[in-house]
A = this chain, B = another copy of it.
Amino acid sequence: MISFVNDYSEGACEEILERLAATNHEQSTGYGLDPYCERAAEKIRQAIECDDCDVHFLVGGTQCNKTVIAAALRPHEAVICAESGHINVHESGAIENSGHKVLYAPSADGRLQCADVEAILAKHTDEHMVKPAMVYVSDATEIGTFYTYAQLKALSECCHAHGLYLFLDGARLGNALCAEGNDLTLPQLAQLCDVFYIGGTKNGALFGEALVIVNDALKSDFRYHIKQNGAMLAKGRLLGIQFDVLMEGDRYLRLAAHANAMAQKIAKVLKECEIPFLIESKTNQIFPILPDVLLARLRERFVIADWERVDATHTAVRIVTSWDTQEAAAEELCKALRAFTQ
């Protein structure tokens, strides 16, 4: 069986495994205070063109989200996101568990716009309600779309005009930055966001997210929050080593571009077969609406996750590719699609 269920089914790119093996018996300081973390942080500061940004390495995305939001907000403050936002749906209430309400706006494409934010602000006017203090977006979003520079700039200006922090979840940032039509760059991210992260787990690392704190107001005592949230890895160098490798040359973008290319190859065939999509996506997640008979046929050979039921005979599914999806695997799926529809 070949899985197209998610982008964390495999391990890590070879260079990471090699580097871990090569440094295995070195002794280094724990908790992220080692030279590898420092070197990786420095590479990231260069890539985003921000000398005084703070960089921290955490193990996973929910951890990043929970830790950042818990550290940034006072108890009565809330975070705004799209209804499909990971913090709203898929973190088992981690944000509420840290005491904060998640205010969400409906969003057909997974993106948030200034009007969405302002509609929520308009409803939160006094101390009987929570006070919105942060906007959370994902790029790429949970449904495969991404923000253009103009879109993110408009949202950033909106946030700052209203005294809100802008926090960007970059668990799939590579896939956004490499997508056809994207014009947003890492340095621009550091100009527009108050805090964001560069995802490693879904782009070639065993695990790890590189969190970048741009706004000084969010920097103080951040390591306390990492520790308190159980997110401080004893052998922190494992994170430093992985990001040191990922940020070498264009590797980070190259891995993501491969994932995107594999999904888009499949999307192209789906379109040729006149299969409609739930949403237009240019990244490594695509959401075709398949006839149930086709889906049943495909599942003899491929693992594919349901997304939502569309009608009595059709199901929208999520097909995800990764940095490690083999060209042959994608080909095989394409062949099966063509075989069915011809």
Contacts and interface: CB of A to CB of B under 8 A. Distances in A.
A313 interface: no
Contacts of A61: 234
Given A10-B24, A238-B207, A230 B229 contact: yes
A93 B97 contact: no
A235 B96 contact: no
A247 to B, nearest CB: 20
A98 B5 CA distance: 33
B130 A93 contact: yes
A29 B90 CA distance: 17
A113 interface: no
A324 B23 CA distance: 13
Interface string A204-246: 0011000000000000010111111111111100100000000
Interface string A54-88: 00000111110011001100111010000000000
Given A20-B206, A62-B227, 6 more contacts: A11-B20, A12-B24, A60-B230, A78-B96, A207-B234, A207-B235
Interface of A: 2-3, 5-6, 8-12, 14, 17, 20-21, 23-30, 59-63, 66-67, 70-71, 74-76, 78, 89-94, 96-102, 127-131, 201-202, 206-207, 221, 223-235, 238, 324
